[in-house]
Structure 1
Amino acid sequence: MPSLPLAPGATLGVLGGGQLGRMLALAAARLGFDTVILDPEPDSPAARVAAHAIVAAYDDEAALAELAAHAQVATYEFENVPVAAVDRLRALGVEVAPGPRALAVAQDRFDEKTFLNGAGVATVAFAAADSPEGAVEAVGRVGAPALMKTRREGYDGKGQRWVEHAADAAAVFQALGGAPVIVEAPAAFARELSVIAARGRDGAIAVYPLAENHHAQGVLRRSLAPARVSAAAAAQAERIAVRILTGLDYVGVIGVELFELADGGLLVNEFAPRVHNTGHWTQDGCAVDQFEQHIRAIAGWPLGPTDAVRGVEMLNLLGHEAHDWARYAAEPDSRLHLYGKRDAKPGRKMGHVNRLRPL
């Protein structure tokens, strides 16, 4: 295993070549690190700003060995990386953070909610099913209407459907592909919030101010941060983050999506074991953003400050919206972040803009 903390000049591995990997590589470069990207797609956004790129499947043995030859520490930019790939890198002497347990828990929505409840973190009521008959029973236990989701994979609203009546559950189960599902009770929430937090190798924890998030068709459109929340809600969000981070023996940045109820209480919707879209505001709203914070944590460096220095409205740019780059670039209080993706497909995240506001 490498000697920590890593000194500048070391190489970090990133599994995943999308926009999060790109922004991690840019943050690593500011701190003097090189990065090597492993991604199945040639010409990935992250590969074009990294020192090295490996084009192969995540479970390719030769590719993992090549990454291990370059990198002392590795991380991942999305949670559908095979756990076996992380285990293989660790066997090759590469320290991977966050660790395989966080990845495995986050990959299964039922395991995730079971872990959260076991850590003393509240969620909506839920039940699992792996057959049409089981789906009907699960909806009967949770109550209709209910949200049915595939237990694994699925993102940005994909892999989930509402079940309006228990009698519809079997058909919805089949429409989702007949894979194991989780059935969740609806949350009567007032708004959606999120908290970005980090845990270092020494166990130190740093928590960013909350963001208020607005979605459309299951995709995040904008975040407002710092969110206007009560001191009690902020303290509860911090407690939630601490319980998750310590319960997973976590190293790195995590994103936790929250439902704020009418009485001010918070429920956890889900967490992502990585840097998170709702934390992009920190790039221009905090002295140390989530990407640098993640690099600091996995490299064994001290965590940086998380106080907000500016208010931010973060807007995701989807598809052809990124073609308005000149307009955003002309706004004096806007900071444009484009991901270098070649094709502006409808609904595809092409970039974001942070509009600065007073605190």
Structure 2
Amino acid sequence: MESRQLGTGGPVVAAVGLGCLGLSGGYGAVAGHEAATAIRTALDLGITLLDTADFYGGGENERLVGRAIAGRRDEVVLATRGGVRAAAPGAPPTIVDGAPDSLRAACEASLERLGVDHVDLYYLARADPRVPVEDSVGALAELRAEGKVRHVGLSEVAAGTLRRAAATCTIAALESEYSLWERHVEAEILPTARELGIGLVAHTPLGKGFLTGAHRSPGDLGERDHRRNHPRFREGNFERNRELVEEAAAIAARTGMTPAQLALAWLLSAGPDVVPIPGSRRPEHLRENVRAAALRLDAADRARLAEVFAPERVAGERHPAHRRVAGVAEDGRPAG
């Protein structure tokens, strides 16, 4: 698979990575052996970037990833993040905490759960509006100097915050949502990252599975599937968004791609500094995603897809209100 570099001097990774959130049951129950098999299959297929976080499954996701990569650490570019925590065990992660001491403790706890002596990429999960971002990334720079972190990244921050952080510490990557149906980074964030020599890791590149065309109605989602509460999956919005996916599916059929491959190929064509991390867990879907790295869209199809998924045509907000991290807006700026 094609390789891409995250940032100037950052890690080199396969063009398609693996987001591990769904392996902890966010889209329904997942057996432990199934999750481990997904990770090992991804490595077998040439995927190198594995993305987790200390708040996925209350830390269980990191333990799962650590067990799955045991004996294969040298094949993995391991990414995790800290700086968001829950108010109590089992509660959702809604408290932003970018204090240097908290980040150090979070990173060291992640290393223990993962069973490794360093992570290749450590993200500040959100910029804390109560702590200067310079202080937060300064703490991550100290961890890098100690060898516990190889590269520093940020997640879901605004362009101005990214610029301030980069003036303090070399930033290899910015992780933000980017896909056909969520293109907010195109206005300011992605151009700023490129100006600063920072790679973009695109999470949710398949629109939580919606862009695959697999879901015909909101009722397709299981009782424990968190997408039931997502604005874009609710009745009314679902049907309008489904129309966009059907338009894309026609382009996919004409070009010999699946809808998922079309969505990934569109994203990969955004530039060599963009690395999508779909969260697929079935081996057949992982193989499908990897094949997308070799597919190419012509300029006309890329432009047509941009028209089909123009931001004003997508129905529903990006996140449900209860999932927004306390005190921080969706683009990383202080809320309110």
TM-score bracket, shorter-length normalisation: 0.3 to 0.5
- Higher relative CO (Cα under 8 Å, sequence separation at least 6) belongs to 2
Higher gyration radius (CA): 1
Q: Which is richer in strand?
A: 1
Scaled by the length of structure 1, the TM-score of the pair is 0.31
Scaled by the length of structure 2, the TM-score of the pair is 0.33
